[in-house]
Structure 1
Amino acid sequence: MVRIVAILRPYRLKDALAQLRDRQWVQHIHVQEVRGYGMQKEHLEDYSGDDVGMEFLPKIRLEILVEDLFAKLAMEAIAAGARTGRMGDGKIFLIREVAAV
């Protein structure tokens, strides 16, 4: 089993979830509001009025569990829904799970 963790732009969550909807191989979905930055750090001044400060941008963490066989499909589905083609689209990580209780 693998865990797919995607960091997305908040307004792309709905589209990413639409790509996963009705997929029998998606076992669990978790969503969190998070803040951070990656390569777009030089654009943080756009958020200087935020009460948290300039250090972090609003993002969404989408996490799903799938069998190994479906990992590539899951990553492609999330990317299809989340991608805008601009810097700051986010990242998708694959984490192998050893056990679950």
Structure 2
Amino acid sequence: MAGNQRWSWPGRMNRLVAILRPYRLAQTRKALGACSGIALITAQEVRGYGMQKDHLESYSGDDAGMDFLPKIRLEVLVEEDHVEEVVNTVMREGRTGRIGDGKIFLIAGIDSGRV
């Protein structure tokens, strides 16, 4: 590291990874704006399927031969004290009640700092 700069540890964080329907991203992101303890939010366009695999034949994507559905991978780095609020927000805003709504994964105890 240059000079005397040191890595600072603001506290233990948790990483939430959610796979969502693309059209649920905007409202989910907006609702997360009201949550406390969020250090980082990223979103990526991805393709895949889970329980929805039986419904792939009804999807006609733009990639010939690709049997995956468009999804959004949302990652949120959140302080431990605010995990429940953030998880509940993502579940509430991402859910439509239909098969293929997505999944949430929580990785606990991540150390974080600024670059």
With structure 1 as the length reference, what TM-score do the two structures score? 0.90
* RMSD (Å) for aligned C-alpha atoms: 1.5
1:76 to 72, 85, 88: 88
Q: Does 1:90 find its partner at 2:102?
A: yes
1:80 CA drift (Å): 1.1
With structure 2 as the length reference, what TM-score do the two structures score? 0.80
Moved over 4 A (4+): none
Count of residue pairs brought into register by the alignment: 101
Q: Does 1:40 find its partner at 2:36?
A: no
Point out the more displaced range, 81-90 or 64-73.
64-73
**One-letter amino acid of the counterpart of residue 64, structure 1:** V
Residue 59 of structure 1 corresponds to 71
Unaligned 5+ runs, structure 2:
1-12
Residue 8 of structure 2 corresponds to none
Give the share of equivalent positions with the same residue, in percent.
Answer: 55
Residue 36 of structure 2 corresponds to 24
Structure ranking higher in helix proportion = 1
Task: Give the number of the structure whose alpha-carbon radius of gyration is greater.
Answer: 2
**One-letter amino acid of the counterpart of residue 57, structure 1:** L
